[in-house]
Amino acid sequence: MSDPIRTRLLILGAGPAGYTAAIYAARAGLDPLLVAGLQPGGQLTITTDVENYPGFADPIQGPWLMEQMAKQVEHCGARIQQDVVTAVDLSARPFRATGDSGQIYLAESLVIATGAQARWLGVPGEKQLSGFGVSACATCDGFFYRGKRVAVIGGGNTAVEEALYLSNLAAHVTLIHRRDSFRAERIMQQRLMARPNIAILWDSVVQEMLPAEGGRIATLRALALRNLKTGAVSELAVDGAFVAIGHDPATALFRGQLAMDAEGYIETVPGTPRTSVPGVFAAGDVQDKVYRQAVTAAGTGCMAALEAEKFLMNAETESATDSPAIAAK
C-alpha cells in the first residue's frame, strides 16, 4: 500500500463548487488536492445546453463547461486525484479520508463539495430522454419551453415551486401528483390554484416517457399515465417533463460526524461555509437545498477556499506561538 498523501487542503467533489474551491485555494498557495469522486463534473455532465452560466454569449454544453473548469484547476496548480472516498474520520486533525483505491489522505483542512442527486422516477424512457425533454431543474431548463406545454411530476414544495416558475414561461403546465392532496405549504398551494395556465392531475403516476418517432434525435412527445384509483390509462402530450420529487445530498460519509438537517444536508453557519467541525467547510449542493445552481455552487466553493485559507493561517500562527521558544545563544 502506498504511503498516505498529505495536503493542507483536501477537496472532495469535482463539480462547480469543488473546482472553484480548488482554483481559489491553488492561487492562495495552499497546494490543494481534489479527489474527483464517482461522477467528475457533477450534474452538469448530464446537462445539454447551458444558458445561465455567466460569461458565455451562446449556449454551451454542460460536459464541456466542466472540462474547462478541470483544465483551469490544473492550470492554477491544483492536483486532481481520480479516486472515490469511501470513509472519513473528522474526529481530529489531520482529517483522514480513505479512497476506494486504498489510498489514505491526510488533510489539515477539508472542503466537502460532493453535491446532490435529483431523485428520478425510474420509469422507461426517463433516462434516455434526459436532456431531450426530460429534466429535474425548471430554473436550469425552463427557458427552452417558452410557449410550450410541459408537465411537472411531484406534490411537495419543490414540485409546486417548479410549476409556478414554469407557468411564467410555458403556455400550459400540468402538475401530476400520485395523491389527492399536496404536501406543499398552504400558501404555495394557493398561489398554484390561482394560476390559470396550471392544471392538476390527481391520483396519477407516470408509467412511461414516450419519444417522438422519426427524428434524428429522440425527444419527448408524451407521458403514459395511470390513474391509481380508477386504473385508467391515458397519454398526455407534452414538450417537456420536469421530475420534482426531491434531491438526495451525497453526505452519507459524514453522518454522525457533522451537524445535518433532517434531509441530510450539511448545516453551515449562516452566510458562511463553516460546518460544526472547525477546519471542515461545505460548499455547493451538500448544504444548499434552495438554489441548487452551478453559479451559486461556484460561489460557495470560492467562500470555502477563502475560509480554509483563513483557518489554516490562524492554525499555523497558533501552532508557532505554542512551540517552545528557541533559547538565544
Query: What residues act catalytically?
Result: 137, 140-141
Which residues lie closer than 8 Å to 265 by C-beta, 6 or more apart? 249, 251, 286, 287, 288, 289
Buried/exposed code over 74-103 (b: 16+ C-beta within 10 A; e: otherwise): eeeebbbbebebeebebeebbbbbbbeeeb
Residue 168: exposure state from Cβ atoms within 10 A (0-12, 13-18, ≥19): exposed
What is the distance between the alpha carbons of residues 112 and 135, in angstroms, rounded to a whole number?
26
Instruction: Say how far apart CA 260 and CA 95 lie, in whole Å.
Output: 19
Neighbour count for residue 200 (Cβ, 10 Å): 16
CA 294 to chain centre: 8
Place of cell 452538469: 44
Please count the other Cβ atoms lying within 10 Å of the Cβ belonging to residue 314.
Answer: 11
